[in-house]
Amino acid sequence: MSTAYRTIMPIATLHDYAQPVTALSFDPVSDTLWSGTNAGTVIALHTVEGLRGVSFPVGGDHAVKQIVAGDNHIRALGAAGEGIGSWAKGGMNKWFFRSSSTLTAFSSTTYTSNTLAASSTAPEIVLLNAITGNAVRVAPSSSVATHLQFSHSTLLAASADGYVRVHDPRTGLLRENGENSVLAHGSGVQDLQASGNYFYTIGWSVRRGHDFPDPLVKVYDLRTMRPLPPVPFQDGPAFINILPKHTSSLVVTSAQGLVNVVDVSDYSNVSGFYQLETASYISATAVSSDGSFLAFGDALGAIHLMTAIAEDVEPLFNGFEGQPVEWGDPPDPLPDITWTDSTPLNSIGMPYYNTLLLSSWTPQFLPRSGILSPPPPKIPPQVLSTMKMNDNIAYAALPKELRGRRNRVPVTATKDQGRFRSGKGRRDDIELEALNIDDSVEEVPRIYRKVEIEYSKFGVEDFDFGFYNKTPYSGLETHILNSYTNPMLQVMHYIHPIRRLAKSHITTNCPREHCLLCELGFVARMLEDAGGTNCQGSNFCKTVGVLAQSQNQIELIDYGRESTEVDYAHMIQSFHRFFVDHLSIEGNAFPHNPRLIHQAFQEDTHSPAAAPITQLLGIDAKTIITCMSCKAVREKENMTHVVDMVYPRRLTPLDPPPATDFASILLASLIRQMTHKATCQTCKQFATFSSRRSIPASELPPVLAVNASVYNEDNLKLWLDNRQSRFLSPTVEVRDELDGVDEVGGVVYELRAMVVQIMTKARHSHLVAIVKVPEAEGQPNLKSPWFLFNDFVVRNISEEEALSFPSTWKIPAVLYFERIDVRKQLDYSGLPQQLDQSILSLDTSISVNRDENLIQHECLSYEELPKPGTLVAIDAEFVSMQQEETEYRSDGTHRVIRPARLSLARVSVLRGDDPKEGVPFIDDHIHTSEVIVDYLTEFSGIKFGDLDPHLSRYTLTPLKLVYKKLRVLVDRGCIFIGHGLSKDFRIINIFVPPEQVIDTVDLYFLPTRQRRLSLRFLSWFVLHEHIQTDTHDSIEDARSALRLYKAFQDFEDRGVFDGKLEQLYREGKQYNWKPPPQTPRPTTTRSPVVATQTSPIPQFPMMNQNFAQSQFTTANFPAFFAPTDMQFGVGGHSQNWNNQRHR
């Protein structure tokens, strides 16, 4: 750019308005000049030709006083002072700040990128949030400020009284330390500019009783508020501007069109004077972002341009083409109306008007009271009678008789609500693609969008997960902290070697209380057994939080923040490395690790094998480091489990373009050739070193774990599809590269799974897994073996869709490959496969002060170890680790946002068959190291200290050991009897096949009544026992469930169950489904059941003899089970228990 300016053709686009140009501002990112007119309109002028674009009013009928153009906004203030506004470059208003007094100025720059300063006639300084337009702080000022400028550390305010004052940019108050004001001009400041440690002013002084422009530009040191030698300008300066990139240079302009570009450090140079050819006076000035263009608006609507760009260079305002211009939307053409006698008048539409319409009421029609609307209705008395006060706010539930009539307007739902199994009128034919999961996102396909669990009054168990997953592969629930790891769990589960290893690890005696490999194995077993039923990985997520916090890696913990605040792609990649490192450590049984793969290069079979995960994922590379000065070479061995992708960069324009295909980038990431500077131990010089890995392809691992490391747009562009091909392919060949030379040999990897981040336009993100399921390969009825796991949404997709990255909403995070040539060579014979069932015979306890008198269980002997079909009764108690998050509405209703997180606290398992029927063989309290927020003593019977190894008097066992006991029972084919077992098994994180579950809540249930009965009520009516009188006891509850099942069997054998169940519901309604208060038993009892029973129900051995009776016979049933007018076997038909529970 030349230092001299030349005049070019002025912009005459605004001549038609014949109005002064009152404000100008160059757009910093596009070839646009923004102009303000005397009529209060901002107009965009594009290119040096002044092509007219967007226009919009700033408020008021006066001139535009000030315009500031930013990267993505236009801020403007009108001379009327009605308010400051921010507009998009398309003309849409973002915000508009109004003040109770007239606004006079605002700062052209912001402080700390989001604080804008404004002044008013109050007088006061207002600090605004530049993003929202909200007032952050209001501070009084000594005089009305006419100009505001932020320096690097202060806020300068030039006032109408001629003073320039220094304010604190954080509070708006006058600076307390040092000088805070200086009298610059006696009769007011006309313009103010600041640069570095200096600021410049022009203004008026009083001469002979009249205001007269000072013929100089005053210069002040901002640090001392002392004047420096001024810059003379005899023609009377009217505007001053800082010249960008030359912070010591000013552009001084007079009203007559004299322009002086002067260097303040050498203002004696008079060569920078220019005279504009104008027939009027100059009314506005502006300088482009690089100083290559100067603009001057005059009173006739012309904009004069001066440029420092050579004539043979394309004249661009900022020296570059910049962003595309945003043109205003053209108005819709008027409709062509064919006028007939029947044409409705409303087809014409409402014209624009600026006078009162005939329908506007005049004051003569207003009532004397001045109230135009009817008074508000009185609050009904039934609402007032139930009203409660809390912090001066009254709350009351809306009575049933008023619901739907008062203060309610029926509206159509914007999106489908959660689907519940208890809901009526379900439309099972609706496909998941038709479900309106979130219409706020247009680009992301519905199946990939974030889904959340809705909660009905029956809890999460009522949510219809089956609607979202019709495949035999289970999804995972999301309402748990750290559930962002769900996709990684799915990936690990479907990588067959890792699944085998994790399942094997849970059969070992792992000593760690918190072990990710154990939890992965438990989840793998659960997902295998579930067969499409939703599962919950709360134990795994809890272990992730505990281990991450213990190692101070809190960035891996999800605290339930908004998804816009979390980069889940980076988070899952950090967790991936953390996860794999833990799996390697936890699975290492050195020197007894089994050898999983036998290859030719592993000749020393007698040396101890590495950790199993290291054998599967480990890359044992040799790093070769070369000094570029003396060529000294040294080697260093290193082991890594995860490959971070490194993308190519062209360091200079002369470098050849790097290879951008996936195979080449993956190879470069494995080799990681780089340079660094250090002191060479050989030549003793500070030299440049070159390092690279040397990895023979034959030694690459069976499973390749890759972090995609896509952290910017340039990297993401490589992944996006183009017309010719896709970046990712089903297989990739990795060739040998030894000593920088490509070898012929190589190995082929097959892509098996991916974790992908889904990013919406609103920057909300979540993670999904895309997996090639081994069990689905070769099935002809599927699109492909590829499945999408979007938490609990599971969907079969095509391979083309799985490998495609159509747009920026789909961002790769983690990839897993399996080496094809060694897949069948993996040897799992050395891995243990079966849990040791003798664990059921061990009395395990870590309690230091266990009271022998409180032991109620008797461990199984070897002869009692369960066989397929063995009946066991089970019940569990839980404590709360996190409170429920609930949203309360103004009408008294509430919605559960996140349910309470429960943890297993006690589990009791009883024998269900003779000879020790009803005797517990497991009664373990569960040790937890987490903080318990609520013991739920009323419902669990657990008290403070019961789960502490140093305080507990009960049998205290680690959660993992209890889980293994239950796992053995499931694997041995035991049939579990209990009440409400589905919720218990979900929280425990174990899946029990339906054919192994007998749930009394389903046995004693009439689907037509839609009410399930509590164990306490059933025990009182059926067994004539009062249970749960003070607190819950898991042994008592399990024993009651067992006896209820025995009673059910007896009724089924006699064919009277259906009639008894109907009568149970009829009588239960009279008691409000609750047993009456316990009273001493009267001398007369209910009439016994008619003694037509041929075989009594077997006797129950009891550990506690406080029950009402010790032998359970027909004489113990309440009389309502045998009405005199009904004979056994009439009115019902016999069904076996398995059919009955599915009624």
Cα dihedral 929/934/939/941 (nearest 10): 50
Amino acid in the structure at residue 204:
W
Listed in sequence order, the residues at least 6 apart from 441 whose beta carbon sits closer than 8 Å to its beta carbon are 449, 760, 761, 762, 764
Does 811 or 368 have the greater pLDDT score?
Answer: 811
The DSSP secondary-structure symbol of 60 reads: S
Give the model confidence (pLDDT) of 930-966 as tens digits: 889 999 888 888 999 999 999 999 999 999 899 999 9
Q: Are 24 and 66 in contact (CB under 8 A)?
A: no
pLDDT for the residue 456: 64
CB-CB contact of 767 with 487 (8 Å): yes
If pLDDT is split at 50, 70 and 90, which confidence band does 836 have? confident
Pairing state between β 686-694 and 674-679: antiparallel
Strand-pair category, 997-999 with 975-978:
parallel
pLDDT at 423: 56
First-to-last alpha carbon distance for the chain, in angstroms, is 87
> What distance lies between CA 228 and its chain's CA centroid?
56
Residue 203 is predicted with a pLDDT of 92
Q: At 362, which helix (H) or strand (E)?
A: none
Give residue 373's pLDDT band: very low, low, confident or very high (50, 70, 90): low
CA distance 687 to 999: 75
d(CA 1048, CA 538): 35
Per-residue pLDDT tens digits for 137-178: 999 888 899 999 998 889 999 998 899 999 988 888 888 777
pLDDT for 331:
73
Distance in angstroms (rounded) separating the CA atoms of residues 23 and 29: 19
Contact 877, 895 (CB under 8 A): no
Give the mean model confidence (pLDDT) for residues 367-386.
73
* Mean pLDDT of the residues in the chain: 82
Q: What is the DSSP letter of 608?
A: P
CA distances from 836 to 30, 559, 842, 923, 1128 (A): 73, 38, 11, 19, 48
In this structure, what are the phi and psi dihedrals at residue 280, rounded to the nearest 5 degrees? Answer: -135, -160
pLDDT in tens, 610-636: 899 999 999 988 888 889 888 888 888
* pLDDT score of 1101 more than 60: no
- Better-predicted residue by pLDDT, 58 or 428: 58
pLDDT in tens, 556-574: 988 776 666 788 999 999 9
* C-alpha of 6 from chain center: 55
Sheet containing 93-98, strands listed edge to edge, beginning at the edge strand earlier in sequence: 64-69, 74-78, 83-87, 93-98
pLDDT at 391 over 80: no
Give the angle 359-364-370 at the CA atoms, nearest 5°.
95
* Number of CB atoms found within 10 A of residue 913's CB: 14
| 300, HSE (Cβ side, Cα atoms, 13 Å) | 10
The backbone torsions φ and ψ at residue 829, rounded to the nearest 5 degrees and listed phi first, read -65, -25
Report the length, in residues, of the chain. Answer: 1143
Which residues are bridge partners to 315 per DSSP?
A: none
| pLDDT in the model for residue 352 | 63
**Bridge partners of 992?**
none
pTM above 0.75, yes or no: no
* H helix intervals, 937-978: 937-940, 959-971
Which pLDDT belongs to residue 415? 46
To the nearest whole percent, how much of the chain has pLDDT over 70? 84
Across 234-271, b (16+ Cβ under 10 Å) vs e yields: ebbbbbbbbbbeeeebbbbbbbebbbbbbebeebeeee
Confidence of residue 426 (pLDDT cuts 50, 70, 90): very low
| pLDDT of res. 378 | 83
Check residue 1127 and give its pLDDT.
Answer: 33
Instruction: Encode pLDDT of 404-419 as tens digits.
Output: 655 555 554 444 455 6
| Per-residue model confidence (pLDDT) at position 421 | 57
Segment among 3-7, 198-202, 652-656, 818-822 with least mean pLDDT: 652-656
The 10 Å Cβ neighbour count of residue 687 is 16
Per-residue tokens: 742: 């490509």
Q: Is the pLDDT of residue 521 over 90?
A: yes
- Give the torsion through C-alpha atoms of 274, 278, 283, 284, to 10 deg: -50
- C-beta of residue 171 within 8 angstroms of C-beta of residue 155: no
pLDDT at residue 1 in the model = 40
Q: What is the mean pLDDT of residues 1024-1049?
A: 87
Q: What is the pLDDT of residues 212-268, one digit of tens each?
A: 888 999 999 988 889 998 988 888 899 999 988 777 889 999 999 999 998 887 766
pLDDT (tens digit per residue) in 592-610 = 888 888 765 444 556 788 8
Q: What is the DSSP letter of 862?
A: G
Q: Give Cα separations from 950 to 209, 953, 954, 955 (angstroms).
A: 93, 9, 11, 12
439 band by pLDDT with thresholds 50, 70 and 90: very low
Two tokens at 222?
């901002």
Q: Which of 174-188, 808-822, 1069-1083, 1115-1129 has the lowest mean pLDDT?
A: 1115-1129
Confidence category of residue 1006, pLDDT binned at 50, 70, 90: confident
In angstroms, how far is CA 1017 from the centroid of its own chain?
A: 43
Say how far residue 47 (Cα) sits from the centre of its chain.
43
> pLDDT (tens digit, 9 = 90+) per residue, 1130-1140?
333 333 333 33
Local confidence band at 977 (pLDDT 50, 70, 90 cut-offs) = very high
So what's the pLDDT on residue 295?
94
Residue 974 — φ and ψ, nearest 5°?
-65, 150
- pLDDT, tens digit, 9 for 90 and up, residues 478-498: 888 889 999 999 999 999 999
Are 469 and 794 in contact, with CB atoms under 8 Å apart? yes
579 neighbors 488 (Cβ within 8 angstroms): yes
Kindly report, residue by residue over 86-134, the tens digit of the pLDDT: 999 888 889 999 888 899 999 988 887 788 999 999 889 999 999 889 9
Sheet with 249-254: strands ordered across: 237-242, 249-254, 258-263, 273-275
Place 182 in a pLDDT band, splitting at 50, 70 and 90: very high
Return the SS3 of 738: strand
Contact between 325 and 31 under an 8 Å Cβ cutoff? The reply is: yes
Give Dmax (Cα) for the chain. Answer: 129
pLDDT at res. 392: 77
902: which strand partners? 880
For the ranges 186-200, 338-352, 949-963, which has the lowest average pLDDT? 338-352
- pLDDT number for residue 23: 94
The pLDDT tens digits of the residues spanning 441-474 come to 347 898 999 888 776 666 666 677 778 888 999 9
Please report, rounded to a whole number, the percentage of residues in the chain having pLDDT higher than 90: 34
Which SS3 state, helix, strand or coil, does residue 666 take? helix
Task: Count CA atoms within 13 Å of residue 997 on its CB side.
Answer: 20
pLDDT exceeds cutoff 70 at 372: no
Residue 1109 has pLDDT above 50, yes or no: no
Under 8 Å between Cβ of 938 and 1031: yes
Q: Report the alpha-carbon distance of residue 476 to residue 527 in Å, rounded.
A: 9
The predicted-structure confidence for 717-740, as pLDDT tens digits, reads as follows 999 988 777 899 999 998 866 555
Distance CA 298, CA 45 (A): 16
Which of 279-283, 825-829, 837-841, 1068-1072 is the least confident region? 1068-1072
Burial 1027-1060 (b: 16+ CB within 10 A, else e): bbeeebbbbbbbbbbbbbbbbbebbbebbbbbbb
